[in-house]
Amino acid sequence: MENETELIKGCRAGDNSARKQLYTLYSKRMLAVCYRYIGDLDAAHDVLHDGFIKIFTNFSFRSESSLGTWITRVMVTQALDYLRKQKRINRIIVHEDQIPEIPDVSDEGDYNRIPQDCLMEFVAELPIGCRTVFNLYVFEGKSHKEIGDLLRIKEHSSTSQLHRAKLLLTKRIKEYMNHEERK
């Protein structure tokens, strides 16, 4: 896109209006990304702030991917750094024999109708370990091996964390659907 090229050029040159334009285009989406990882709105704003500072002080975009993908990657990296400082993600251990099978949700009704902000909250409520793995697996498309390398956990742990996340999310969906039905 021609506009995007101009935008990139402007940001590289340190043009403030280009920066503001970039911010306007991406800030809401990136806040959602940060919130999905962090689970707290204030902290998500902090991560968003630091992410944009990083982008604007060193605009290292090289057109290897789309601009949106690159910005998302910067934000995800910033979010992971934040999480690492807050808690040791790799300390969370799940004993596999304690995780039951994930129940079937298909007979709960049209769960596709669940509002977006509710689904976002379900993710935000997840414990830090399985939330991080879930985000990296589902939204960043990372493999368990890649997640293991990134978070310095075993591949096996990544698998069980994802399983746990799905279990908890399914449970939340069921609760929500039951609650809605009663209404």
Q: Which residues bind to another protein, rule: CB under 8 A?
A: 14, 16, 19-20, 23, 27-29, 31-32, 35-36, 45, 48-49, 52-53, 56-58, 101-102, 104-106, 111-112, 114, 116, 119-120, 123, 134, 137-139, 166, 169-170
Q: Which residues contact 141 (CB under 8 A, 6 or more apart)?
A: none
CB of 116 to another protein, least distance (A): 5
Sign of CA dihedral 62, 66, 68, 69: negative
| 141/182 with CB nearer another protein | 141
Considering beta carbons, is residue 2 or 101 the nearer one to another protein? 101
Closest approach of Cβ 32 to another protein, in Å? 4
Query: Which residue reads 């995007």 in tokens?
Result: 4
Beta carbon of residue 5, minimum distance to another protein (angstroms, whole number):
22
The three-point CA angle 24-124-45 to 5° equals: 35
Taking the C-alpha atoms of residue 71 and residue 13, their distance in angstroms, rounded to an integer, is 17
CB 15, min distance to another protein, A: 12
Nearer to another protein, 94 or 114 (CB): 114
